[in-house]
């Protein structure tokens, strides 16, 4: 049930308004002055406030500011005995939902309150959604206990409250976009757009149009004006992934935005101004790219005001177990699988992998393992064949019998099965043995 706060120093008017609201099914609380209104606001958490303009200890127009500061989601409707245009304008500027005159606008009160209640409910839903999004993209979901990762998170948290450009460096799959989102949603721009663009996904011409937009008729196929991603990100953050892949000619335009906050669209003659925070990321060594003449040195220094390096997964092997369990939990929900146990051998095998694709590769392996798992326990048999083979080869190398014929035969069968992507009929044909024999050896060698 929605709650209405009625603020008026005249008891008869408060009683009348309260009766009207109760007949409409609203819960009502009352206050006779500004101080009591703010106290009721704290105690009762109303959805809408109906306030008189002239109160014993203040002005309702000023009270709107105080209410909005204390409870931004509460909608305020001001009531006055004498219509005053300047007061009405100021009330709306202060955040009032509407401003009406007593007597003349009595028939408007009920529908106005109804609309205000709907807007207050929408405000609450939006706040809840923004809070949920903020939590999802904050630094909290970034898992890891290694010092290198904690150092990276600490640096990113420090820079998030500023507005300076950030350059994220690290190998592919280390989570650079996750860090970029966390920086954005921890900044004062969190309520504005976060726009991501991969600079390696477009040709030079298409990337220029996507990023900066164009005017109608500026080239064949440009039938109407197009906003660029920088305009979409205005007042928010733009994430330029794989910045090292950006064409040299476009780098000058990006530099101008960093220096002046403006650029010229394709086919335009006037500059477009934007207020955008730039977060860039690369897996390339930009100083080397500068030496080869492929990246502008002046742009590098503007982008790298603050650098954060994300460590590869092989340098934080202690975090693999933690990440794997988290991925298993997430994919169990997504895939509607009930995984009750992960064998120690499964986790140990993951820890011994080089993970050239880093967290992204680990995530994909876990998802694949849950898809092929036939029970409620994840075992080494659910891992891709190449990881299983690497595990058994390492195990063989650590045993005195690694040169035994059976060990060599097992490794060879495993390689052939990997080659045939698990097709045992094709593997038996290549090995020139019967399918029954192959099944027996697979079971015997636990391949």
**In terms of domains, do 382 and 278 share one?**
no
Q: Partners of 273 in the beta sheet?
A: 262
CA angle 188, 189, 195 (to 5 degrees): 155
Same domain, 114 and 172: no
Q: Which of 100, 132, 164 is the last residue of a domain?
A: 132
The yes-or-no verdict on residue 403 having pLDDT over 60 is no
**Beta bridge partner(s), residue 30:** 6
**Domain co-membership, 288 together with 416:** no
Helix (H/G/I), strand (E/B), else coil: 36: helix
155 and 300 housed in the same domain: yes
Per-residue pLDDT tens over the stretch 242-270: 999 999 999 999 999 999 999 998 888 89
Note the pLDDT of residue 135: 55
For position 313, what pLDDT does the model report?
93
Q: How far is CA 28 from CA 3, 179, 272, 315, 316, in A?
A: 6, 46, 51, 61, 58
- More reliable by pLDDT, 430 or 278: 278
What are 102-148's pLDDT values in tens digits?
766 667 888 999 999 999 988 888 777 766 655 556 687 788 889 99
- Count up the domains in the chain and report the number: 3
Could you tell me if 358 and 268 lie in one domain?
no
> What digits encode the pLDDT tens for the residues 67-112?
999 999 999 998 887 766 677 778 888 889 988 887 666 678 889 9
CATH number at residue 110: 3.40.50.2300
The predicted pLDDT at position 164 comes to 94
Q: Are residues 291 and 404 in the same domain?
A: no
CATH of the domain at 249: 3.40.50.300
Shared domain for 391 and 302, answered yes or no, is no
Which residue reads 């994919």 in tokens?
331
- 302 and 176 in one domain? yes
User: Is residue 369, in this structure, part of any structural domain at all?
Assistant: yes
How far is it, in rounded angstroms, from Cα 155 to Cα 133?
Answer: 22
pLDDT number for residue 363: 94
Q: pTM for the complete prediction?
A: 0.65
Domain residue limits at 409: 315-445
Same domain as 55, residue 70: yes
- Strands lying side by side in the sheet with 75-80: 27-31, 3-7, 48-52, 75-80, 98-101
* Residue 62 host element (H or E): helix 60-70
Angle CA 252–254–259, to nearest 5: 95
């Amino acid at each position: 049930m929605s709650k209405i706060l009625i603020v008026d120093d005249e008891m008869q008017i408060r009683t009348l308004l309260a009766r009207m609201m109760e007949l409409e099914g609203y819960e009502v609380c009352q206050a006779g002055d500004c101080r009591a209104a703010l106290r009721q606001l704290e105690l009762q958490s109303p959805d809408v406030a109906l306030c008189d303009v002239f109160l014993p200890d203040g002005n309702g127009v000023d009270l709107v500011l105080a209410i909005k500061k204390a409870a931004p989601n509460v909608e305020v409707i001001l009531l006055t005995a004498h219509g005053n245009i300047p007061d009405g304008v100021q009330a709306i500027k202060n955040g009032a939902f509407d401003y009406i005159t007593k007597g003349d606008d009595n028939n408007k009160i009920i529908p106005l309150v109804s609309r205000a209640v709907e807007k207050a409910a929408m405000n609450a839903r939006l706040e809840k959604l923004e809070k949920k999004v903020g939590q999802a993209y904050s630094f909290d979901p970034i898992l890891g206990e290694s010092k290198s990762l904690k150092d990276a998170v600490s640096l990113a948290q420090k820079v998030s409250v500023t507005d300076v450009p950030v350059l994220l460096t690290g190998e592919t799959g280390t989570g650079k976009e996750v860090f970029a989102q966390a920086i954005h949603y921890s900044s004062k721009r969190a309520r504005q757009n976060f726009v991501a663009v991969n600079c390696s996904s477009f040709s030079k011409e298409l990337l220029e149009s996507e990023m900066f937009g164009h005017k109608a008729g500026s080239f064949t196929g440009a039938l109407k004006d197009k906003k660029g991603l920088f305009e979409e990100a205005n007042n928010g953050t733009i994430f330029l992934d794989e910045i090292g892949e950006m064409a040299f000619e476009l780098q000058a335009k990006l530099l101008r935005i960093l220096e002046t906050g403006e650029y010229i669209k394709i086919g335009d003659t006037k500059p477009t101004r934007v207020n955008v925070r730039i977060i860039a990321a690369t897996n390339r060594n930009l100083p080397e790219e500068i030496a080869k003449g492929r990246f502008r040195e002046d742009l590098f220094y503007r982008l790298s005001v603050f650098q954060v390096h994300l460590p590869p997964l092989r340098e934080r092997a202690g975090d693999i177990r933690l990440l794997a369990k988290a991925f298993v939990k997430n994919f169990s929900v997504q895939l509607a699988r009930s995984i009750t146990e992960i064998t120690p051998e499964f986790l140990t095998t993951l820890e011994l992998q080089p993970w050239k694709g880093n967290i992204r590769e680990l995530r994909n392996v876990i998802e694949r393992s849950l898809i092929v798992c036939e029970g409620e326990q994840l075992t080494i048999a659910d891992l891709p064949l190449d990881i299983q083979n690497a595990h058994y080869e390492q195990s063989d190398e650590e045993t005195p019998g690694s040169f035994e014929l059976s060990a060599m035969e097992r490794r060879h069968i495993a390689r052939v099965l990997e080659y045939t992507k698990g097709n045992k009929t094709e593997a038996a044909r290549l090995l020139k043995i019967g399918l029954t024999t192959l099944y027996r050896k697979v079971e015997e060698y636990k391949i």
